[in-house]
Amino acid sequence: MRVGIAGYGLAGRSFHAPLLKGCGFEVATILTGNSTRARQAKEDFPLTKVVDNLDDFLAQGLDLVVVASANMAHAEQSLAAIKAGIPVVVDKPMGRSLAETELILNAATKAQVPVTTFFNRLWDSDALTIKKIVANGLIGKPFRLDSRFERFRPKLNLASWRESETAENGGGLLLDLQTHLLSTALDWFGPARLTYANIRSIRGNSEDDVVLNIAHESGVDSYLSVSAIAGSPGPRIRLLGSEGALIVEDLDPQEALLRAGEFPEGGTWSVPTSSKAYIQRGDSREEIETVPGNYGHFYLAVRDALEGKGAWPISSDQIIEVASLIDKAREISVR
């Protein structure tokens, strides 16, 4: 299948392009107006056509468009692809607000053109392991989740639109990493309402420290923290249950592998992709076998959906639920 990638920065080059290649798609064309990224695209895919015009991009006989551009361009590029009748994968978040997200989804429904978004962290090793642990009751009944993406970068990177752009233009961690924490928590423990939000800009530019608390109907409370200025980052996951806790201290290894040029050949990784995880009960701690992560499963599901063999990997309901909580966070934030 011929796929076009709009945008060739971090998302396009380090995530979507290698995953598409590994899952058997032909990267037929890449849209970028940046000369450095255009050169990188030709180095990575010598036979791929690189264009700087959206109309030319959509005229290449594509079976799928992947929108991996800056958040402020998601709606324009997605709507143009939908109008052209081409199915679309939009990097997270689909829209900068619930209204923009609904605009894209409603256009897709009206045109009967499928669209989905890239909640790839549902296929992290820790995400898949949590589902297994909860299902087998290894820590009893879960009641509290601490989920984090925290790092220490006290100096702004003004070359990054995620750090330099305002929230209105799609910058900041609420629309970036917090989207992952919301999508995974909802997948693990079901529907939730937002009970607390603190959205801050410590370094004086985009939102760089965001804490959300959500209460799931299942009885689990999720405490979700993303920060670019955490001098002492906490563990990636701490899940408390009535009979113990699951601890995951480090990130899933797939992002590092993709950035290093590795990819899942045929949709399957040939290198280890498991996080280290532990079950802790007071002073007792034991390492457990975890489920290998595989972002390739997202694009294998997309391929099957395009061939009429299955559902799209992320539903409109999932997309709307995350977008609604993000809007609500802005409404009730204590800062």
For 273-297, what is each residue's pLDDT tens digit?
Answer: 999 999 999 999 999 999 999 999 9
> Could you tell me if 177 and 255 lie in one domain?
yes
> Could you tell me if 225 and 125 lie in one domain?
yes
Residue pair 208/229 in contact by the 8 Å Cβ criterion: yes
Residue pair 241/141 in contact by the 8 Å Cβ criterion: yes
For the residues of 175-212, what is the DSSP string, one character each?
TTHHHHHHHHHHHHH--EEEEEEEEE-SSSSS--EEEE
Residue 151 CA from chain centroid, whole number: 17
Give 193-211 pLDDT, tens digit per residue: 999 999 999 998 899 999 9
Rounded Cα distance, 80 and 57, in Å: 10
* Overall number of domains in the chain: 2
**The pTM is what?**
0.96
Angle, vertex CA 144, rays to CA 140 and CA 149, nearest 5: 125
Rounded Cα distance, 257 and 273, in Å: 9
> Could you tell me if 101 and 234 lie in one domain?
no
- Phi first, then psi: give them for residue 9, nearest 5 degrees: -90, -145
Would 49 be classed as within a structural domain?
A: yes
Distance in angstroms between the alpha carbons of the first and the last residue of the chain: 47
Full domain range(s) for residue 215: 121-294
CATH number of 223's domain: 3.30.360.10
Q: Which residues does the chain have with pLDDT short of 70? A: none
Residue pair 291/46 in contact by the 8 Å Cβ criterion: no
How many helices (H) and strands (E) the chain has is answered by: 11, 14
> Could you tell me if 140 and 215 lie in one domain?
yes
